[in-house]
Amino acid sequence: MLRYITSILTVLICSVSFAQDTETATVANDTLPKLDTFPLRVGIDISKPIRMLLEDDYQGIEIAADFRLTRKFYIAAELGTEKKTVDEDQLNFTTEGSFVKLGFDFNAYENWFGMENAIIVGMRYGFSTHKQTLNRYRTYQTNQHVDDVSVLTQTPGTEFSSLNGHWVEVVAGVKVEVLDNIYMGFSLRLNRLLSTKEPENFQNLFIPGFNKVTTDNNVGAGFNYTISYSIPIYKKARKKKVEESEEEDTDEE
């Protein structure tokens, strides 16, 4: 009988000890700081290769990247090259050059811990360097008695180099993780041309990175569709005030 009682007490003591160890481990895990990941996302704009398949007179490539600075703000950049031939009734020209866009994104989406999806709004400063080749140009004829007369203001094949453009962009879009560390993104761009160096006796009617330029309006629009890979750079413990605020919001819900 005594041996039976002793065995029961031994089992109870072991059970209590195991439960205390489990509870201690749980508390320890709960007190560990949550770590936010600060990644570098690098990708390409796949809309430009698609455009190359659809348009014979266009070539282009763009690399896009962003790096997380805080929980909400990212620095962002895009760089690339474009070549575009415009063929109209009065003129035919080819523009070729490169561009860089630098700015920031603000993430308006509240992620669960560990997620990096984004609804972004941001701004960019854009700069391009390019050259322009005038393939053909015909002046408008006011004399109706002259048929099929072309007057070239420049020799066909004239190349204008050392051209540039400066502009700002307002950006709005989304980025979603579709696979581990792989993101798809889409953004709309509203552009405002600030200044441009134009060829002599001609205009910049297309600027790489900015898109089409009209003679009476310096505002343009564009978009990009990116696929990117996220590279974790470092991790940082989330501040206690932030955690308490999130816990209070959860309790209220």
Query: Splitting the chain (253 residues) into consecutive groups of 10 residues, what average pLDDT does each group show?
Result: 47 44 45 75 96 94 96 96 89 94 95 83 97 79 50 68 95 95 96 90 87 84 95 78 47 49
pTM: 0.75
In terms of C-beta distances under 8 Å and separation of at least 24 residues, what long-range contacts does 244-253 make, across chains too?
none
CB 177 within 8 A of CB 185: no
Where does residue 128 rank: exposed (0-12), middle (13-18), buried (19+ CB within 10 A)? buried
Distance CA 99, CA 60 (A): 11
The topology under which CATH files domain 33-84+97-127+163-252 is Porin (2.40.160)
- E strands, 147-217, where? 158-179, 182-197, 206-207, 211-212
Q: Which of 74, 157, 86, 159 is nearest to 123 (CA)?
A: 74
- Provide the 3-class DSSP secondary structure of residue 51: helix
Longest dimension (CA), the chain: 129
Burial class, 106, CB count within 10 angstroms (exposed 0-12 / middle 13-18 / buried 19+): middle
CB 41 within 8 A of CB 65: yes
State the Cα–Cα distance between residues 135 and 190, nearest whole angstrom.
Answer: 30
What are the structural domain ranges in the chain? 33-84+97-127+163-252
What gap in Å lies between CA 34 and CA 97, rounded to an integer?
A: 46
Specify whether the CB–CB gap between 208 and 45 falls below 8 A.
no
Give yes or no for a contact between 103 and 169, defined as CB atoms under 8 angstroms apart.
Answer: yes
pLDDT score of 141: 53
> Tokens in use for 56?
């014979």
Residue 88, amino acid? E
- 181 by DSSP, 3-state: which? coil
